[in-house]
């Protein structure tokens, strides 16, 4: 049975928590707030709401998050980016109100739309310490949320909304003043559309740009190790889909994602094409498999299923096909993808603005934003 939750406003961003202690939590970002839903077999129940005051453009769950269904000592913690280029750390614990900690303002922050973000500490004590953000300003920034020095941040210079949201806080644990996060900036030649980290990797980020190109970046390397005159930070590997690069000025921004079970497998969509890479079998950076997405070039997001790692999905965000998702099965041998299963959630002019797999046990489920509704549905039957 499908679950439909009316958010009351357009939903722009959907992120499910893939922590083992919080697989039933889904965050949705709307015109001015972030809501946290607890997903069961029959309902999507709101458990927290954070007022930001601007449209949400990206969300990322902290590895510290624990669901109220898993423990009495639960913790909701995630990062959010808003359309005024601001960044926010959102937390809620038992018996405490929602807390919004703004950071990333002034000269030290982004000066363009933040299109994606991810926690990137890897399998270490730093798992919840670092968060990376990718922006239209051609900058990848890695933020230290627990800096040793407190460097005050100036107000958002380019922001259309300078007032702090209600509930904003500068306090840390125990009520002590919290140091402003510091940023490590990595410049790129083009606007960035996506950034992804893998839970098994401590130093690599997968970055996609507005022309459809991908790169693996070693963000922990010292800047001094870069070649003289290098225009951006050292990269481990560049990945390129020839048809995406051949598009020139018409090339579409890419969305990329690591397979949860295997950091060697990467999927990306770029306009009317998708590509799969197997990093254990490099072919000069070219994909091991590629194929068409939607005929009108409307694909804009790709996600892997964390519970059934061979499945990945793509959304249609424009065109005449209505709110549609394609789910593909990537064969274990050779990285090839079989024909997709299409899921039509609503007729035109509706469209899927964002989606994510919900990592609950059993048949895989997807949470998709269609207008003001979050639709949670199974992609198969028992």
Separation of alpha carbons 211 and 240, rounded Å: 10
Residue whose C-alpha is closest to residue 369's, from 44, 20, 1, 24: 44
Full DSSP string of 80-100? EEETTS-EEEEEE-TTS--EE
**pTM above threshold 0.85:** yes
Candidate from 136-145, 148-157, 209-218, 361-370 with smallest mean pLDDT: 148-157
pLDDT tens-digit profile of 350-370?
A: 999 999 999 999 999 999 999
Please count the residues of the chain: 382
pLDDT tens-digit profile of 60-104?
A: 999 999 999 999 999 999 999 999 999 999 999 999 999 999 998
pLDDT above 70 (res 109): yes
Residue whose C-alpha is closest to residue 57's, from 110, 123, 13: 13
Query: Distance of CA 277 to CAs 153, 254, 260, 264, 266, Å?
Result: 40, 14, 14, 8, 5
Q: What is the pLDDT of residue 300?
A: 75
Average pLDDT of the residues in 196-201: 93
The most confident of the ranges 142-151, 158-167, 245-254 is 142-151
Count of alpha carbons within 13 angstroms of residue 221, beta-carbon side:
16
Q: What is the pLDDT of residue 246?
A: 43
Q: What is the pLDDT of residue 163?
A: 47
Separation of alpha carbons 260 and 308, rounded Å: 9
Residue whose C-alpha is closest to residue 276's, from 258, 284, 288: 288
Contact 37, 45 (CB under 8 A): yes
Q: Where do we find the tokens 């295997």?
A: 262
Q: What is the pLDDT of residue 234?
A: 62
Separation of alpha carbons 129 and 220, rounded Å: 13
Q: What is the pLDDT of residue 308?
A: 94
Residue whose C-alpha is closest to residue 291's, from 316, 270, 305: 270
Residue whose C-alpha is closest to residue 23's, from 73, 69, 60: 69
Of residues 299 and 35, more confidence is placed in 35
Q: What is the pLDDT of residue 229?
A: 42
Q: What is the pLDDT of residue 258?
A: 94
pLDDT above 60 (res 225): no
Separation of alpha carbons 255 and 242, rounded Å: 16
Q: Where do we find the tokens 């697989």?
A: 23
């Amino acid at each position: 049975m499908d679950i439909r939750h009316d958010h009351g406003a357009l939903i722009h961003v959907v992120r499910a928590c893939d922590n083992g202690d919080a697989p039933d939590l889904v965050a949705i970002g709307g015109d001015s707030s972030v809501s946290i839903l607890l997903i069961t077999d029959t309902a999507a129940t709101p458990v927290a709401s954070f007022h930001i005051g601007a449209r949400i453009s990206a969300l990322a769950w902290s590895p510290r998050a624990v669901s109220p269904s898993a423990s009495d000592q639960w913790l909701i913690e995630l990062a959010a980016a808003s359309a005024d280029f601001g960044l926010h750390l959102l937390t809620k614990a038992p018996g405490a109100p929602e807390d919004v900690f703004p950071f990333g303002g002034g000269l030290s922050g982004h000066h363009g739309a933040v299109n994606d973000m991810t926690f990137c500490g890897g399998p270490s004590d730093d798992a919840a310490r670092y968060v990376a953000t990718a922006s239209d300003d051609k900058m990848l920034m890695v933020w230290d949320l627990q800096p040793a020095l407190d460097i005050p941040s100036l107000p958002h210079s380019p922001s259309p909304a300078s007032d702090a949201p209600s509930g904003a806080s500068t306090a840390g644990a125990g009520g002590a003043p919290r140091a402003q996060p510091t940023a490590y900036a990595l410049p790129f030649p083009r606007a960035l559309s996506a950034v992804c980290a893998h839970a098994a990797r401590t130093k690599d980020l997968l970055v996609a740009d507005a022309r459809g190109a991908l790169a693996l970046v070693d963000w922990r390397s010292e800047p001094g190790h870069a070649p003289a005159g290098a225009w951006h930070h050292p990269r481990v590997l560049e990945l390129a889909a020839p048809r995406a690069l051949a598009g020139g000025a018409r090339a579409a921004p890419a969305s990329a994602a690591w397979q949860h079970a295997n950091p060697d497998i990467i999927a990306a969509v770029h306009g009317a094409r998708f590509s799969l890479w197997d990093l254990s079998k490099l072919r000069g950076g070219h994909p091991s498999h590629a194929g068409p997405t939607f005929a009108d070039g409307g694909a804009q997001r790709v996600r892997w299923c964390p519970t059934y790692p061979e499945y990945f999905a793509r959304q249609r965000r424009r065109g005449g096909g209505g709110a549609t998702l394609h789910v593909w099965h990537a064969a274990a041998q050779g990285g090839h993808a079989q024909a997709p299963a299409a899921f039509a959630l609503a007729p035109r002019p509706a469209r899927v603005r964002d989606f994510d797999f919900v990592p609950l046990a059993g048949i895989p489920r997807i949470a998709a934003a269609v207008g003001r509704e979050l639709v949670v549905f199974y992609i198969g039957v028992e």
